[in-house]
Amino acid sequence: MFLPFFLGRCILCFLALASIPIGFINRKNKFKKIENYKYIIISSVVVNSFLIYYNKYLGLFAIFNFFLGNYLCLIGITGGIAVGKSTFCNFLKKKNVVVINADEITSQIYKKGSTCYKKIVKHFGEEILNNDKSINRILLRKIVFNNEENVKYINKITHTYIIIQIIKECLKYKFLYLKYNVAIEAPLLIETKLYLLTSPIILLKSSIKNQIKRILSRDKNCTYDTAMGIIKNQLPTDEKIKFSDIIINNDDDLIDLEMKCDVVYNKYLKSFFF
């Protein structure tokens, strides 16, 4: 008698916990229609009604999990190099949106003595090091982005670490600081599959001419060929558009970008329930 009773309770608890991914799906559906979404929601309502009838506390637990799934969803901000992602995120920060910057986390993995540091030096040789044995990021970038195999190697050894650190940071702000609007700013949001954790996915784009102009103006050591190499080794904008919910063209001035940020925030991010 005990085993069937125990299994029955386990199944009911599993059904209650299943409301978490359903809540997550509910938020994603607000921006990109999901096939058979209505059947998922109808099934959820039926199951939750049964749980409430069977045990009101279990039913309330299921409803709580639905909102938890919505709460756990992150905001994704992506785009190629020099399209204005950081500037856009700075505008969002003024509106109390927490932004986890993937590039800042990436810089930590190049620190002297880290596992990734050792692998990079072993692969590319000590000629990429400065006098203090730190990695010369400018020189490494020139070597990497002119060779597709080098790009794949760097991505392979860094992506796992970056993803783990980003998830840790997001959970910290969600559960320790109870921040609802937590965004991931990542140029490789789609390539690393982090987009699966986000909704909406905001894509910033710009003309290649403006991208190169911005790259060269902020990095005097970068050449035109290196800038083009970086752009060509990133996922094309047309491919990123397929995954994105909100697309922002940033070929004008900062005032225009800030106005677009205000529109996105007020329309999509301001309300708890979107």
**73-269 adopts what CATH topology?**
Rossmann fold (3.40.50)
Which of 116-153 are b and which e, b meaning 16 or more Cβ less than 10 Å from the residue's Cβ?
bbebbbeebeeebbeeeeebeeeebbbbbbbeeebbeb
Q: What is the pLDDT of residues 175-188, one digit of tens each?
A: 999 999 999 999 99
Distance (Å, whole) CA 255 – CA 92? 14
Q: Does the pLDDT value for residue 2 go beyond 50?
A: no
User: Please, what's the b/e burial string for 193-221 (b: 16 or more CB within 10 A of its CB; e: otherwise)?
Assistant: ebbebbbbbbbbbbeeebbbebbbeeeee
Cα angle value 211/212/215 (rounded, 5°)? 85
pLDDT of the residue at 3? 43
8 Å CB contact between 23 and 67: yes
Mean pLDDT of 197-213: 95
CA pair distance 79, 93, nearest whole angstrom: 18
Q: Spell out the domain ranges in the chain.
A: 2-71, 73-269
Lowest mean pLDDT among 81-90, 140-149, 160-169: 140-149
Secondary structure E strands in 80-179: 98-101
CA–CA dist 29, 69 (Å, integer): 13
pLDDT, residue 4, reads 59
Round to whole Å and give the CA distance between 189 and 92.
Answer: 18
Q: Which residues contact 109 (CB under 8 A, 6 or more apart)?
A: 116, 117, 158, 161, 162
What is the pLDDT averaged over residues 126-142?
A: 87
Structural element, H or E, at residue 74? strand 74-79
Please state the length of the chain.
274
- Mean pLDDT on 188-215: 94
Q: What is the mean pLDDT of the chain?
A: 88
231, 188 contact by CB (below 8 A): no
Confidence band (pLDDT; 50, 70, 90) for 37? confident
**What confidence tier does 274 reach under pLDDT thresholds 50, 70, 90?**
very low
pTM of the predicted protein model? 0.85
**Is the confidence at residue 201, as pLDDT, over 50?**
yes
List, for residues 41-90, the tens digit of each pLDDT value: 788 888 878 888 888 888 888 889 989 999 999 999 999 999 999 999 99
